[in-house]
A and B are shown apart, each in its own frame.
Chain A
Amino acid sequence: MGALLAGSQAFAQQRKLPGAGTSPIKVGSELADVTAIDEDGNEFPLRQKLKGRHAVITFGCLT
């Protein structure tokens, strides 16, 4: 199993709002075919890297 923390500059200074609502990403949907950057600065294509094991992605910000 892999666990990942994803950070986005755009999330900086965001905070939880009451009644934040339901995530628009539905259970059962396909993992998006997007590429992030790993901590060594290398590209990290999610579908390719996470295939074959359970993975957790948790979003957050560094600040």
Chain B
Amino acid sequence: MPWLADSMTNELKHAFGDKNNSEFVISPEGKIVVSRTWSDPEQLREELAGFVGESETVTKPSKNGQQPKRTEYTRGVVPRVKRPSGASVLKIEPVIVAEGDEEETVPPVEPFYAKLRAEATRAVMDGDEGELYLGFHLDPIYEVHWNNLAAPLKFSISAPDGVELEVTEGEAAKVEEKADLDPREFLVGIKGAGDEPLRLRVDYFACDNGDKWCKAIRQEYLIHFQTDRDAGRVQGGGGSRDRSKMQRPPGGGNTKGRMPNPDVIFTRFDADKDGKITKEEATGPMERRFPMMDTDKDGVVTREELKSRFERMRGGGRSPAK
């Protein structure tokens, strides 16, 4: 039976109604004569008998040699993150990082063994405060697994001006099993998302299931705050309602609400790295809050003033008792 692959822009999928596992019969004149949203082999056989007559030889699915391969590697050892309810799947753009640019050579491009999926709530899409879901899922087509004998997956994010992230880097928890297939997932507080994408870099160690190679992989993505209609669905996830079991990037210190790290915020806005945020450097949400942060009214916000402001916010917005 011939196979067809869709184009990278999903022309076929869109033209046939965006339904996975849908099925169509086309007449010799090019008309759709059967259309259903889910394949039904028995029903199809009857219909085809009506169109072209009974088949003399019936091929059973077990005879076509297309049985999926089973893998010995473990699943279910890493707690899944509950993705934000009602979140949109974001458009992801892989970035090919070229090496040897000076010679203008085309470097060998490593496959994206782990695919990034990012989701964000409506509030985040509107630029307000919310949660960004990041999931790194091994692509089963490459038949690889995580190498847990090496360092866990870690990521770092650079955000455009005005975007506040709870953390800008994170690392997956160490897994006792020496190998597994579970996704590595994170929730990151974010505020101020807009038209400019986040740039994410991820480092991980992968091995092929045939034990031919294990290697360190580095990949980069742009995360656009636009809904991806072709993103599909993800199995599992949302199973853990116990937030204490969620994978969270360390170092956020986010124990009270979704408060960003003031050091991260300060570093982002202090564009000339002189230890002060000027009014010119304070863009986006920072611009509106500048007068409240500049407590000594000298026209600049210091790291201490920013931290003090965050402490007051953590304390419910009240000034510390004197």
Interface residues of A (CB under 8 A from B): 1-16, 20-32, 34-39, 44, 47, 50-63
Using a CB–CB cutoff of 8 Å, the interface residues on chain B facing chain A are 1-8, 10-13, 15-28, 30-39, 44, 48, 51-52, 137, 139-141, 230-235
Contact yes or no, A16 B32, CB < 8 A? no
Whether A31 contacts B48 by the Cβ 8 Å rule is no
CB of B91 to closest CB in A, whole Å: 12
B50: shortest Cβ distance to chain A, in Å? 10
Q: Which residues of A contact B139 (CB under 8 A)?
A: 12, 63
The answer to whether A25 touches B28, judged by C-beta atoms less than 8 angstroms apart, is: no
Q: In the complex the two chains form, what is the Cα distance from A38 to B12 in whole Å? A: 12
For A55, the chain B residues whose CB sits under 8 A away are 25-26
Residue of A nearest to B12 (CB): A36
Contact between A21 and B232, CB atoms less than 8 A apart? no
Instruction: Report yes or no: B26 in contact with A50, Cβ–Cβ below 8 A.
Output: yes
| 9 A-B interface contacts by CB (under 8 A) | A8-B6, A22-B37, A28-B32, A32-B16, A36-B5, A37-B5, A44-B4, A55-B25, A56-B24
Closest to A51 in B: B30
B2 engages A38 (CB within 8 Å): yes
The verdict on A54 contacting B35 (CB below 8 Å), with A8-B6, A34-B12, A59-B21 known, is no
Contacts of A25 in B (CB 8 A): 16-17, 22, 24, 32, 35
